[in-house]
Chains A and B, each alone.
Chain A
Amino acid sequence: MSNATLEMTDRREYPVLEPGQTYASVTDQIGDVVLRRTPGRLWWFGVVFTMGLVTLLIAAVSYLIVRGVGIWGIDIPVAWGFAIVNFVWWVGIGHAGTFISAMLLLMRQDWRTSINRFAEAMTLFAVACAGMFPLLHLGRIWRFWYIVPYPNVMWLWPQFRSPLVWDVFAVSTYLTVSLIYWYVGLLPDLATMRDKAKSRIVKLIYATMAMGWRGSAMHWQRYQSAYLLLGGLAAPLVISVHSVVGMDFAGAQIPGWHSTILPPYFVAGAIFSGFAMVLTLGIPMRWAFGLKDMITLRHIDNCAKFLLITGLIVDYSYGMEMFMGWYSGDTYESFITLNRAIGPYAWSFWLIMFTNVVTTQFLWIRKVRQNVPLMFVIAFIIQVGMWTERFVIVVISLHRDFVPSSWGMYYPTFWDYATLAGTIGFFLFCFFLFARLIPVISISEMRELVHSTGGGKHVPKSFSPSYVK
């Protein structure tokens, strides 16, 4: 337990696990959130509020299907609007979870342990939100399956040159692998919950979900190699998914989209927004569930460093885009660069300059990184910034392209906002349920951490779970 003044003055490396933790204490602290504690008023408020937003989403989607995508503000030339902005934003958020659990696993980062579980859950819910939009934005949603390669008597296949088809594969693969990876990681904990549960029905549910996990050596041996393999499988997907989303744009020839920098830039932006979301969710959660010993300042500091690194890549990409606008000598490129800065949507450009460029620079400062409330605010600002960045990419590029006679504007409607708010509500709603039903931190891995750190007494420079040897 540390107080604020100590945090501000103490310059030592914070532990990944506060001292004094035992196997039993971590199990209880994490497991009790689900099994023992009654949900507080705040939780109920959150669930009811987000359920309201889910209802709004259902209404917005129903009306959309009844009337058509015309209820949104999209038009010709801006035929993609909030739906695609939201899609890219959610997919981006969905990156951090798998990045944390798979990439950091492979890179033997011990601090991932406390945050990988909820980050992965966040990934799943974010990808679920993201996955809605490509369907919803279709003019004829009831024909969405035309995009899937299925055998049919007409011998009709999707048009494989279109990045939208790659998107389907990329997102669905990512969702599948993330789900399996998350679930496999859950198995030992589900067994723990089964064992700790008092109520018979709850026991039965967790028993079913635990799929007969008994914790034998054989189980552990197979479990750990499977987990590692899945980690290896998931890691490249982190790169591929948002690269493909980047290619959705790079594959087009619209100035502002037609750029080879987009795939890496999108990946960096995705991790940027993903880590921001980890902080946005983790900071309140650690406070609400009393998990400050497990999600320590070390975690927050590391996340902030990731924000800094990816943020700098994003900033570099902004710079390169502007540079290429001038250096290419291309009429349209230079125009779109100018149009972003001084066109009718200049507010959005300058907003992302503030959120993603200026704000990021504060993260150079250790005191900022370790200031929990401030980090929450910064993470929130970055969320807003990353959403706006996608707005800049989608809308500004489309609204004024080649032929000035076809220039236009995009004004979002109530239903645009309703759908965005609805998915945020859906995401949070899922997260509230998750926090009450599943251990938000991996108990088994935390116990391993207790073991390897000797109860958090000392922190080895390079720690990794035993199976990564």
Chain B
Amino acid sequence: MPGDQSIFDHLPSAAQDRAASAPSAPRYWRSLEELAGDETFAARIGDEFAEGADEWLDPTTRRNFLRLMGASLALGGVVGCSDFPEEKILPYVNQPESVIPGVPSFYATTVPFCGFAIGALAESHEGRPTKIEGNPDHPASLGASNIFMQASVLDLYDPDRSKLVTDAGAASTWGSFLDTLQPRLDRMRDSGKGLRFLTRTVTSPTIAAQMEELRKRYPQSRWHVHDPTANAGCSARQGGAPGRAVYDFSKADVILSLDADFVFSDVGSLVYARQFADGRRREPGASAADHVMNRLYVIESTFTLTGSMADHRRALRPGEIPATARAIAARLGVAEAAGSTSFGNLDSFLDALADDLKSPRDFSGKLRNGGVGVVVAGDHLPLAVQQLAYAMNQKLGSVGKAVRYIDPVDVQGAHSIESLTADMAAGLVDTLLILGGNPCYDSPADVRFTEQLGRLSTAVDSTGHPANFTAHLASHEDETSFYCQWHIPELHYLEAWGDARAFDGTASIIQPLILPISAASRSTPEVLEAILGRRDRGGYEIVRAYWESQWKPVNSDQTPQTQEAQATRPTTQPHGADPFEVRWQLALRQGFIQDSAFTPRDPGGAIPAFGPAPVVGGSHEDWDLVFRPDMGLWDGQYANNPWLQELPRPFTKLVWDNAALISYRSAGKLGISDGDVIRVTSDNRTLDVPAVILPGLPDQTLTLTLGYGRVRGGHVANEGGDVVRGYNAYTLRTSTSAAFAAGAKVTVLTGERRKLVMTRSHHAMANLPGMVVGGEEGPLKPDAIEHPGTSESEIEIKNRRIVRSGTHDDFRRDQDWVTKLGGENEMRAKGLSRDYPGRKIHLTIYPDKDNGGWDYSKGYQWGMSIDQTSCIGCNACVVACQAENNIPVVGKDECAREREMHWIRIDDWFGSQPGGSHDDATDEPQVIHMPVPCQHCENAPCELVCPVGATTHSVEGLNEMTYNRCIGTRYCSNNCPYKVRRFNFFLFADYSTPTRALQYNPDVTVRSRGVMEKCSYCVQRLNRTRMDIEKMTVRLEDRAGALESESPRKAAALRDEIITRQKEMLAQLQTACQQACPTQAIWFGDKNDPASHIAKLKEDKLNYTLLDDLTTQPRTSYMARLNNPNPSLSKTKRPT
């Protein structure tokens, strides 16, 4: 039982030792119930409480009152013990060898996302995990992370997590749960009639094996899977599709995305985003002619981050996408799609696109050598489109190159929630275990699962006892727990052992870092194991035993059970070591099992004939609905995570709410603006939602995001009470319309508005004709994006030179276009005076370093470069920064007052496509994501005005905050042209939630009320690296000094080594945002080292600084956005 969970030591050898000695080890207990081992005693504790509560309803007698008082006092304490055992804290008597107080350790583990594995390194400070980073070795992470990984560490410490096993709402124990279940299982022996399991997507080999064993033991039991986002990029198509597609965008020259958000909403998106960005990235300093860029076409039904990266993007109504796919396939020569080539006004676009896919050309019009085009179809699209994509990829020759097909990674063979509900209605289910997930919230609206579950849970037999058995394993007492008889707290992945597979099949071990915060919590493998009759096995044993069974030496005539078994063993086995142990330790250390990715298989088979051509578009009266997971809360499982609630969503910058996204033209037709409530009716179901206008959406189409409208989500999800945040789009989503619904009706609820909070007025960032900015139309409209084609007069009137964008072609024609876009001032600042070529003109009256000014050429000089060509706007940096720097959450009301605290924000700028006219901007806007941290100006305006010297400049070029000195005049923020400073208007930091404090990074001050704060370039990381380097240098210098007399040559070699090592250590240094970034758009380093990557980036022709004309000399600079549009699609031909 729980004793096994004490195996949380992460030195695998130590774990092994402990496991081996477990039987003879003294028994420790963490609660009275555990000590007593008497389940009835423990159960009585809970019962007593419940009965006691009932007594209050009776007319209270004096005796009764006193008795109750006494019982409450006595038992209150006992019950209190059951979840947080009282423990004395002692300093280490024998300090573990691996723990140095103050120095964090990193452990490889795995973040399950939609059931799939993403490798992670968890940072642990004296035993408490504080931050999740990507695992650079893991094939699904490559060192990057996404918002969900970053925020998941906060979920661990969520004070709303359930702490007790409950039986019909009353406190109970794990033991009584099993004891209640056991007689049922005994009855079902060898049949399993009525026994059902409902899980989310499962990729875990361990759980798969357990399920297999259950199926053998209870042949009539059934396993059902319900995953609301399984159709949103998280799962392979099942049944007849050519398997799961795994892409390699590094090999793709032309990419066509059919409604696929592969840079963000896919379990492989960290890798895809990296490959995609690498295919566009330019080596700093490389000549434009040598630079090769891939080209991305996106045809989609809503605005995704992938769409924002497109060179050509078309927004189509969801119903039009299959037909478009078919038209493209016909153009590519897919025989089965022939005969349906015409697509109205899109024809010329599709012609050019198909031509480009077939024969990718470089900018000079030459065919690219080995260039290949690839088609990516969104996983939620109909099977026919998947098959078309497969056929197109075959035709393009990209199968095996840019795309490979593997077996489905998630465990197959489960039934659906629809069949489960039907069986429940038919009375075929009497024992239902819901392991994870929240189907009462997120199951399809037409399935009426909740109704059936409620009926199942409340039915009583003739004796008045519950007739059925329903249990829910979940981290919170949520909507589903409410309808189940039993609730079992679920372990967080940082508390539990487990395993999962990544998008390409790579098996990864989930390794816990901390003892369960509530001892009552269990993981899915532990529950299944207990049902299999092995109650006392903990997660560690289960997972380890599974892999041991897989890696047992197999006889040559036996076929290995999985692909891993075939994989090559590590060749370096220590002599005499147990080969399993060696492998297991390696897997733990790496976080994944080497070479366990699925091998591509030839999908083979004929492409089935396609049905009739899908209907093109919907009617002009009806509306289409697009369901997408929220880009913060996902499917709703993160609803109680304040970091994600307060994360400004891409494009809209909406926080703490969701809204129906509507196109500019459709909103105009309805006569609504942001926040106006509309009534959506689909299939006789209605939902009132506030609208938010977003350019670039198809007309007559609403994008509804899932994840909001939780009723039992917790204090964060429900505003601390019973308030429901946002609207629940699941109420419109049926099993047949998981991704899209057609034929919806929309009416405006006149006069009804909902207060939506958007942290940046996204309209202010849009350059759209007629777009209203802050209630004012006309000349106050900023020009959002500067293109090389922007006319001189426009530059003079509106140009703020903030976002600069051009095409690959622009850059090839004129290497200096970025500087020229910046206008005269920047040219002069860079010594590019028009009037005096070659003469350096200073724009500041302050002396430079030659005349008594500060010399920035010595020591480390930190700098950051942000590449707008790579940035996909995924927000990973924002959450990573929040986790690293103890940034507080302020809540919706404070966000509404523009007091959010993020140290790095992502500005999404809207404008026309390069070469496109401004009139196109509402339909086909270009969006540029610009992360804005503190710019660390060398001439920092904030420093000048601080009366107390609380913000000062370091010799290494950092603009630093001294919180203790700050008195909060806020003048620095006023004078900051970038407005990156954040002020603690109230006591925003959470000092009071006990578990919350555990997450705080001990290296960073938790700021109190009344002080200013801002991005520090993660100065705590800089300082740690500098200290490490200095320690290393001093140590080796000493040795070199000693060597000097013996062998000057060796001493010199050692000194060379010092420099090499210094560079290596510096190269390891990453800021939190940089480390998280999936596309490596953020780069940080010592710009004083001319060989460093950052120095090269700073010297690059695309490099520019924000508001250069203010001569603030920022250390953060930007690389202009480069696009690679198809020349034959260019709308306006600009003179060369």
Could you tell me which A residues sit within 8 Å of B by CB distance? 67-70, 73-80, 137-141, 143-144, 146-147, 156-159, 161-165, 168, 251-254, 329, 331-332, 334-335, 338-339, 342-344, 398, 400-409, 411
Of the candidates B943, B971, B979, which one forms a contact with A164 in the assembled complex, judged by CB atoms under 8 Å apart? B971
**List of 4 A-B pairs having minimum Cβ-Cβ separation, nearest first:** A139-B968, A139-B1010, A70-B985, A406-B979
Can you pick out 10 interface pairs between chain A and chain B where the beta carbons lie within 8 Å of each other? A69-B968, A70-B894, A76-B979, A79-B983, A139-B984, A140-B968, A140-B1011, A403-B802, A403-B979, A405-B764
- Structural contact, A403 and B1106, CB atoms closer than 8 A: yes
With A and B bound together, what is the CA distance between A1 and B1123 in angstroms? 85
Of the candidates A159, A251, A402, which one forms a contact with B948 in the assembled complex, judged by CB atoms under 8 Å apart? A159
- Structural contact, A165 and B764, CB atoms closer than 8 A: no
- Which residue of chain B has the shortest Cβ distance to A135 in the bound complex? B967
With A and B bound together, what is the CA distance between A156 and B897 in angstroms? 35
- Structural contact, A403 and B983, CB atoms closer than 8 A: no
- Asked whether any CB of chain A lies closer than 8 Å to the CB of B779, the reply is yes
Which residues on the B side are within 8 Å of A68 (C-beta)?
984-987, 1009-1010
- Asked whether any CB of chain A lies closer than 8 Å to the CB of B981, the reply is yes
Q: What is the minimal beta-carbon distance from B853 to any residue of chain A, in angstroms?
A: 15
Which residues on the B side are within 8 Å of A74 (C-beta)?
970, 985
Which residues on the A side are within 8 Å of B71 (C-beta)?
none
Which residues on the A side are within 8 Å of B301 (C-beta)?
none
Of the candidates B947, B949, B966, which one forms a contact with A139 in the assembled complex, judged by CB atoms under 8 Å apart? B966
With A and B bound together, what is the CA distance between A339 and B778 in angstroms? 11
- Structural contact, B780 and A405, CB atoms closer than 8 A: no
A68-B1010, A158-B948, A400-B774 known, 18 other contacts, Cβ within 8 Å: A68-B1009, A75-B899, A76-B899, A76-B979, A79-B973, A79-B974, A139-B970, A140-B968, A157-B949, A162-B945, A162-B946, A254-B975, A331-B796, A331-B797, A335-B780, A403-B978, A407-B774, A408-B898
Which residues on the B side are within 8 Å of A70 (C-beta)?
894, 897, 899, 985-986
With A and B bound together, what is the CA distance between A293 and B714 in angstroms? 75
- Asked whether any CB of chain A lies closer than 8 Å to the CB of B907, the reply is yes
- Among residues 856 to 915 in chain B, which have CB atoms less than 8 Å away from a CB atom of chain A? 894, 897-899, 905, 907, 909
- Structural contact, A146 and B948, CB atoms closer than 8 A: yes
With A and B bound together, what is the CA distance between A293 and B820 in angstroms? 72
- With most chain A CB atoms within 10 A of its CB, the pick from B784, B973, B979 is B979
Q: Chain B, 916-933, contact with A by CB distance < 8 Å: what is the 0/1 string?
A: 000000000000001010
Q: What is the minimal beta-carbon distance from B938 to any residue of chain A, in angstroms?
A: 15
- Which residue of chain A has the shortest Cβ distance to B1008 in the bound complex? A140
Q: What is the minimal beta-carbon distance from A146 to any residue of chain B, in angstroms?
A: 4
- Structural contact, A343 and B1010, CB atoms closer than 8 A: no
Which residues on the B side are within 8 Å of A406 (C-beta)?
760, 978-979
- Which residue of chain A has the shortest Cβ distance to B900 in the bound complex? A76
- Structural contact, A338 and B798, CB atoms closer than 8 A: no
- With most chain A CB atoms within 10 A of its CB, the pick from B969, B973, B984, B987 is B969
- Structural contact, A253 and B1010, CB atoms closer than 8 A: no
Which residues on the A side are within 8 Å of B948 (C-beta)?
146-147, 158-159
- Asked whether any CB of chain A lies closer than 8 Å to the CB of B982, the reply is yes
Q: What is the minimal beta-carbon distance from B786 to any residue of chain A, in angstroms?
A: 12
Q: What is the minimal beta-carbon distance from B1007 to any residue of chain A, in angstroms?
A: 11
- Asked whether any CB of chain A lies closer than 8 Å to the CB of B776, the reply is yes
Assuming the A-B contacts A77-B979, A403-B802, A407-B764, are A342 and B944 also in contact, with contact meaning beta carbons closer than 8 angstroms in the complex? no
- Structural contact, A403 and B1107, CB atoms closer than 8 A: yes
- Asked whether any CB of chain A lies closer than 8 Å to the CB of B800, the reply is yes
Of the candidates B796, B898, B978, B1009, which one forms a contact with A329 in the assembled complex, judged by CB atoms under 8 Å apart? B796
Which residues on the B side are within 8 Å of A338 (C-beta)?
779-780
Assuming the A-B contacts A76-B899, A161-B944, A162-B944, are A254 and B969 also in contact, with contact meaning beta carbons closer than 8 angstroms in the complex? no
Count A-B contacts at CB 8 Å. 181
Which residues on the B side are within 8 Å of A156 (C-beta)?
949, 965
Of the candidates B761, B778, B799, B1106, which one forms a contact with A407 in the assembled complex, judged by CB atoms under 8 Å apart? B761
Assuming the A-B contacts A70-B986, A139-B984, A162-B947, are A80 and B798 also in contact, with contact meaning beta carbons closer than 8 angstroms in the complex? no
- Structural contact, B975 and A253, CB atoms closer than 8 A: yes
- Structural contact, A165 and B947, CB atoms closer than 8 A: yes
- Asked whether any CB of chain A lies closer than 8 Å to the CB of B821, the reply is no
With A and B bound together, what is the CA distance between A216 and B760 in angstroms? 72
- Asked whether any CB of chain A lies closer than 8 Å to the CB of B12, the reply is no
- Which residue of chain A has the shortest Cβ distance to B975 in the bound complex? A252
Q: What is the minimal beta-carbon distance from B774 to any residue of chain A, in angstroms?
A: 5
Could you tell me which B residues sit within 8 Å of A by CB distance? 760-761, 764-765, 774-776, 778-780, 782, 784, 796-800, 802, 894, 897-899, 905, 907, 909, 930, 932, 941, 943-949, 965-971, 973-975, 977-979, 981-987, 1009-1012, 1106-1107, 1110
Q: What is the minimal beta-carbon distance from A149 to any residue of chain B, in angstroms?
A: 11
With A and B bound together, what is the CA distance between A168 and B969 in angstroms? 13
- Which residue of chain A has the shortest Cβ distance to B798 in the bound complex? A331
- Structural contact, B979 and A253, CB atoms closer than 8 A: no
- Which residue of chain A has the shortest Cβ distance to B973 in the bound complex? A79
Q: What is the minimal beta-carbon distance from B151 to any residue of chain A, in angstroms?
A: 23
- With most chain A CB atoms within 10 A of its CB, the pick from B765, B897, B982, B1011 is B897
- Structural contact, A253 and B977, CB atoms closer than 8 A: yes
- Which residue of chain A has the shortest Cβ distance to B802 in the bound complex? A403
With A and B bound together, what is the CA distance between A134 and B798 in angstroms? 36
- Structural contact, A331 and B967, CB atoms closer than 8 A: no
- Structural contact, B967 and A138, CB atoms closer than 8 A: yes
- Structural contact, B1011 and A405, CB atoms closer than 8 A: no
- Structural contact, B899 and A140, CB atoms closer than 8 A: no
Which residues on the A side are within 8 Å of B907 (C-beta)?
403, 405
Which residues on the B side are within 8 Å of A254 (C-beta)?
974-975, 977
With A and B bound together, what is the CA distance between A404 and B783 in angstroms? 9
Which residues on the A side are within 8 Å of B784 (C-beta)?
404
- Structural contact, A139 and B977, CB atoms closer than 8 A: no
Which residues on the A side are within 8 Å of B973 (C-beta)?
76-77, 79
With A and B bound together, what is the CA distance between A239 and B46 in angstroms? 78
- Which residue of chain B has the shortest Cβ distance to A67 in the bound complex? B986
Which residues on the B side are within 8 Å of A168 (C-beta)?
947
- With most chain B CB atoms within 10 A of its CB, the pick from A147, A162, A163, A342 is A162
- Structural contact, A163 and B945, CB atoms closer than 8 A: yes
Q: What is the minimal beta-carbon distance from A171 to any residue of chain B, in angstroms?
A: 13
Which residues on the B side are within 8 Å of A403 (C-beta)?
800, 802, 907, 932, 977-979, 1106-1107
Which residues on the A side are within 8 Å of B798 (C-beta)?
331
Which residues on the A side are within 8 Å of B977 (C-beta)?
253-254, 401-403
Which residues on the A side are within 8 Å of B897 (C-beta)?
70, 73, 75, 411
Which residues on the A side are within 8 Å of B944 (C-beta)?
161-162, 251
Q: What is the minimal beta-carbon distance from A84 to any residue of chain B, in angstroms?
A: 9
Q: What is the minimal beta-carbon distance from B845 to any residue of chain A, in angstroms?
A: 14
Q: What is the minimal beta-carbon distance from A168 to any residue of chain B, in angstroms?
A: 8
- Structural contact, A138 and B968, CB atoms closer than 8 A: yes
Which residues on the A side are within 8 Å of B932 (C-beta)?
403, 405
Q: What is the minimal beta-carbon distance from B927 to any residue of chain A, in angstroms?
A: 13
With A and B bound together, what is the CA distance between A163 and B930 in angstroms? 33
Assuming the A-B contacts A76-B979, A162-B944, A254-B974, are A404 and B968 also in contact, with contact meaning beta carbons closer than 8 angstroms in the complex? no
With A and B bound together, what is the CA distance between A348 and B524 in angstroms? 63
With A and B bound together, what is the CA distance between A251 and B969 in angstroms? 15
With A and B bound together, what is the CA distance between A73 and B893 in angstroms? 12
With A and B bound together, what is the CA distance between A147 and B971 in angstroms? 13
- Which residue of chain A has the shortest Cβ distance to B907 in the bound complex? A405
- Structural contact, B970 and A80, CB atoms closer than 8 A: yes
- Structural contact, B986 and A147, CB atoms closer than 8 A: no
Of the candidates B780, B797, B941, B967, which one forms a contact with A144 in the assembled complex, judged by CB atoms under 8 Å apart? B967
Assuming the A-B contacts A338-B779, A405-B764, are A76 and B981 also in contact, with contact meaning beta carbons closer than 8 angstroms in the complex? yes
- With most chain B CB atoms within 10 A of its CB, the pick from A78, A140, A158 is A140
- With most chain B CB atoms within 10 A of its CB, the pick from A141, A143, A251 is A143
- Structural contact, A79 and B970, CB atoms closer than 8 A: yes
- Structural contact, A401 and B945, CB atoms closer than 8 A: no
- Which residue of chain B has the shortest Cβ distance to A147 in the bound complex? B947
Which residues on the B side are within 8 Å of A331 (C-beta)?
796-800
- Structural contact, B971 and A252, CB atoms closer than 8 A: yes
With A and B bound together, what is the CA distance between A141 and B967 in angstroms? 7
With A and B bound together, what is the CA distance between A398 and B972 in angstroms? 12
